[in-house]
Amino acid sequence: LAKSVKDWRTFWPTAKSVIYEGEAELFRQNGPGWPPLSAVTNERRRKGKGKGDNEILRDSRKLMTSVTGASGKGTTKQNQMDLRIGTNLEYAAAHQFGLGKRAGWVPAHTVKAHRVKTHTRLGRPVRAHMVSEHTVQGHITKLPAVPARPFMRFTDNMIKNLRKGAARWLERQFAEGAS
């Protein structure tokens, strides 16, 4: 029955809805099966770099919203027989498939050094705060491995819902074609 359909374009909105909801559920459940965040990542978040919670792959929400249709920054391509949903974020593949330990380039940047010096003035301790800046040259450093956390995958629930939606759509198509 499904093989006789030559144009699925009117089904794609239903399929997109099911896929977007399934992707959102994966993010809400931290996978399931995604490796936990590293101690380094948790420490970075505690220091104010990022949202500060331990939600995996949701620090800025950009990746999640790109594959759930919430941001409009994902990619969708469709034609009569094909629907493709993805993301155009350059770091998405690193999270989907993982990266081993590797070297990375750290560009030149300015570092501020804060020093506190205590001295006495008229017999009383006085604290002087000094700030100095210096430029660190660009250099190569070791970057940590990024574990694979496949966020674009079909879950059993997504497949079940796609089958239900397709069955209803096919029934309507053939009922309309029979009348």
Summarize pLDDT for 49-92 with one digit per residue, the tens.
656 567 888 888 889 998 888 777 778 888 889 998 889 888 89
Tell if the pTM clears 0.75, that is, is over it: no
- Kindly provide the b/e burial profile for residues 69-101, where b requires at least 16 CB atoms within 10 angstroms of the residue's own CB: beeeebeeebeeeebebebebeebeebbeeeee
Does the structure show a pLDDT above 70 at 18? yes
Q: What average pLDDT does this structure show over 3-26?
A: 90
Q: Which tokens is 150 given?
A: 């496949």
